[in-house]
Amino acid sequence: MPALKAGDAFPQSIIFSYIAPKPETAEITACGIPTKYDASKEFQNKKVVLVSVPGAFTPTCQADHISGYKAKFNDLKAKGVDQVVVIAYNDPFVMSAWGKANSIQDESILFVTDDGTAFSQSIGWTLGERTGRYAMIIDHGKVTYAENEPGKGVTVSGADAVLAKL
């Protein structure tokens, strides 16, 4: 499958893994049980921002990328975004802990795993063995924005760039 672009339908059969935030697993050391997140199905009924980062807890991903989405979540919501879904190559336990470390206690921002980087590889947006740094807006199953970072840093995949396209 080639890289996705505005106007494309979000592909079918895209499944990520995650641990749903729950009160009983709210502590950062609580594990929870990974479940499947059928992105193809979930994205049909929502406006979603899909954000991919090379790795949880890494300096650019934490300080420059995810922090922007946390800070601008209300602005994104005001533009009709139902959910931000953050993907990385890390396993569901690491992604869950990263969400908890960022004080995310609900499903407004989900931290999910691109299992084996299958999705990112399918669109050609990886960084070596890791997921690439990119962002997409998917509006009820249709891609309306998709940009892969051209180099180091956060430009076209940051919250401000996404907000400008909503």
Respond yes or no: is residue 31 known to be catalytic: no
d(CA 60, CA 45): 31
pTM: 0.96
Instruction: Indicate which residue of 39, 50, 56, 61 is catalytic.
Output: 61
Where residue 82 falls (left for φ over 0; alpha for ψ -120 to 50; beta otherwise) is alpha
Domain membership of residue 77 (yes or no) is yes
Query: What DSSP designation does 80 have?
Result: T
Domain membership of residue 98 (yes or no) is yes
Give yes or no for residue 158 having a pLDDT over 80.
Answer: yes
Count the domains in the chain.
1
What is the tens place of the pLDDT at every residue in 92-149?
999 999 999 999 988 899 999 999 999 999 999 999 999 999 999 999 999 999 999 9
Q: Which domain holds residue 43?
A: 15-165
Domain membership of residue 59 (yes or no) is yes
Give yes or no for residue 1 having a pLDDT over 80.
Answer: no
What is the tens place of the pLDDT at every residue in 47-93?
999 999 999 999 999 999 999 999 999 999 999 999 999 999 999 99
Domain of 105, CATH number, reads: 3.40.30.10
Domain membership of residue 46 (yes or no) is yes
Domain membership of residue 88 (yes or no) is yes
Domain membership of residue 3 (yes or no) is no
Higher pLDDT, 80 or 22: 80
What is the tens place of the pLDDT at every residue in 64-74?
999 999 999 99
Higher pLDDT, 1 or 130: 130
Q: How many CA atoms lie within 13 A of 69 on its CB side?
A: 31
